[in-house]
Amino acid sequence: MSATTFGVIVGNRGFFPAVLARDGREEVLKVLEAQGYRTVCLTAQDTKHGAVETLQEARKCADLFKRHRDEIDGVVVTLPNFGDERAVANSLRMAGLDAPVLIQAYPDEPEKMLMGGRRDSFCGKISACNNLWQYGIRYTLTRRHTEAPSSETFKQDLASFAATCRVVRGLKNLRVGVLGARPAAFNTVRFSEKLLEHAGITVETLDLSEVFGRVERLKDDDAKVKAKLGSIGAYVSTQGVPPPSLLKMAKFGVVVDDWMAANELAGTSVQCWTSMEEFFGVVPCTLMSMMSNNLLPSACETDMVGMIGMYVLQLASETPSAIVDWNNNYGEDPDKCVIFHCSNLPKHFFEDFKMDFQEIIAGSVGKENTFGTVVGKLKSGPVTYCRVSTDDLKGGMRAYVGEGETTDDRPKSFGGYGVLKVPGLQSLLQHVCKNGFEHHVAVNHSRYGAAIAEALGNYKRWDVYHHQGNT
């Protein structure tokens, strides 16, 4: 992953000592660099202390940002003193970046409230936000109204803002693919390609008949097929799996890899139940697990918007995501439930795992036609969950997001399974059911609920519910 790049605007106001702007700029840039971020900022050769106060200085800042438009993921506005509210707003308007903006204001110190040391950034931040609101520019606030750049609170806010920026940028001009038709029994995964396109997400389709046809043309000793066989064996133990099934998986993987590369696809959703088993003789789970683990998320049952949720989580955390069912209650604990899939979960999620057959449908299509699942217990740890959906009745995108944790509870189960604890789970499930959301949810081992809610709700302007406990 490349480092997140921030454009930096340093506010200044002539009534206050300019040295505050000079020192503030130096401190903020040092903090950003120390946290691993790249920066684009005016220098002391461009304007007084590299800050913006006048219209001319705002134009210089905007021109600098325009030259680096393709690099800048978001903008950090720092106010070492009150700052000129118009210069900040003009810089952003004239730059036209359409990127997230974080507003940080320096705290005053009680013993430095006389002229010479007084900042008034507390007040200046309100004025800056008022102007951005008037200009129609969306922005993000730090958790505390004023925060020193060196504080741990600000560093945490930076990390969250960087995740917001990655989500917003990653959803621009996104290309994804659907392999096969929606299984007839799964009305729940219906979605609108037109609403996704309107949101900047293009969907490419490929019928399973074409996939199987391309597979049929591949020779057993094809170099790509042999390489894919090797990567499968290196990824998961295949002990007990018939060699013909592994060969089918490898050929399927080669066809999907080539199709994704040719169409520049960031993720896929795949028809499985039960066309793959009846007419091809394996399940695609291992290949999907491998793709997701390599940050090319893949969801089953053609759940395209479910895969978008996986991708959103991946953008925020820069780690693999999985898609699971909200599947079972766990005893009498109202905040715990079992999450499960048959499964195609990425290796990243398991304590230990192996390749196996698909137990649910083996009875109807034959065990020999269902090899290829990856199964085991999910490791414990923090979790962010996210569900994206197209709201066809209201004509827009919607989502819910929140945080919980997978526990060390060990239910007796098959497939990929674990126990998820979510504060206020019952109220979340009420929201899911009352608003007609799907039974699938994307999960990620991270804590980025607030960052994702900010990205999808504030900047993408989707209808977002951020679940926080029992509220």
Task: Please give the residue that has the higher pLDDT: either 130 or 274.
Answer: 130
Give tens-digit pLDDT for 92-146.
999 999 999 999 999 999 888 777 778 999 999 999 999 999 999 999 999 999 9
Identify whether 386 is part of a domain: yes
236, 297, 273, 287: which is closest to 443 by C-alpha?
297
The verdict on 93 and 206 lying in the same domain is no
Q: Is the pLDDT of residue 29 over 60?
A: yes
CATH number of the domain encompassing residue 80: 3.40.50.10940
pLDDT of the residue at 111: 84
Instruction: Tell me how far apart the alpha carbons of residues 367 and 356 are, in angstroms, rounded to a whole number.
Output: 10
The verdict on 98 and 162 lying in the same domain is yes
Give tens-digit pLDDT for 53-80.
999 999 999 999 999 999 999 999 999 9
Among residues 120, 154, 170, which one ends one of the domains?
170
Q: Is the pLDDT of residue 246 over 60?
A: yes
The verdict on 330 and 405 lying in the same domain is yes
Q: Which residues contact 67 (CB under 8 A, 6 or more apart)?
A: none
Percent of the chain with pLDDT over 70: 99
Lowest mean pLDDT among 271-280, 282-291, 382-391, 394-403: 271-280
Could you tell me where the DSSP H helices lie in 68-150? 85-95, 121-135
pTM for this entry: 0.96
pLDDT of the residue at 1: 61
Give tens-digit pLDDT for 159-202.
999 999 999 999 999 999 999 999 999 999 999 999 999 999 99
Identify whether 435 is part of a domain: yes
Task: Please give the residue that has the higher pLDDT: either 405 or 116.
Answer: 405
Q: Which residues contact 227 (CB under 8 A, 6 or more apart)?
A: none
Domain containing 47: what range? 5-170
**Helix 285-293 with 243-263: angle, nearest 10 deg:** 50
Question: Looking at the 3D structure of the chain, how many domains does it have?
Answer: 2
Identify whether 471 is part of a domain: no
Q: Is the pLDDT of residue 470 over 70?
A: no
Among residues 152, 170, 188, which one ends one of the domains?
170
The verdict on 166 and 180 lying in the same domain is no
Identify whether 140 is part of a domain: yes
Q: What share of the chain is helix, strand, coil (3-state, %, to 5)?
A: 40, 25, 35
Tell the residue number behind the tokens 């048959």, with chain if given: 342
The verdict on 143 and 194 lying in the same domain is no
The verdict on 347 and 281 lying in the same domain is yes
The verdict on 352 and 366 lying in the same domain is yes
Average pLDDT, whole number, for the chain?
96
**Helix 55-67 with 85-95: angle, nearest 10 deg:** 30
Confidence of residue 16 (pLDDT cuts 50, 70, 90): confident
The verdict on 207 and 80 lying in the same domain is no
Confidence of residue 364 (pLDDT cuts 50, 70, 90): confident
Give tens-digit pLDDT for 197-226.
999 999 999 999 999 999 999 999 999 999
The verdict on 87 and 210 lying in the same domain is no
DSSP state of 183: P
pLDDT of the residue at 471: 52
The verdict on 135 and 180 lying in the same domain is no
Among residues 128, 152, 170, which one ends one of the domains?
170
The verdict on 160 and 197 lying in the same domain is no
pLDDT of the residue at 15: 77
Confidence of residue 258 (pLDDT cuts 50, 70, 90): very high
The verdict on 240 and 288 lying in the same domain is yes
Q: Is the pLDDT of residue 338 over 90?
A: yes
Identify whether 60 is part of a domain: yes
Identify whether 277 is part of a domain: yes
CATH number of the domain encompassing residue 214: 3.20.14
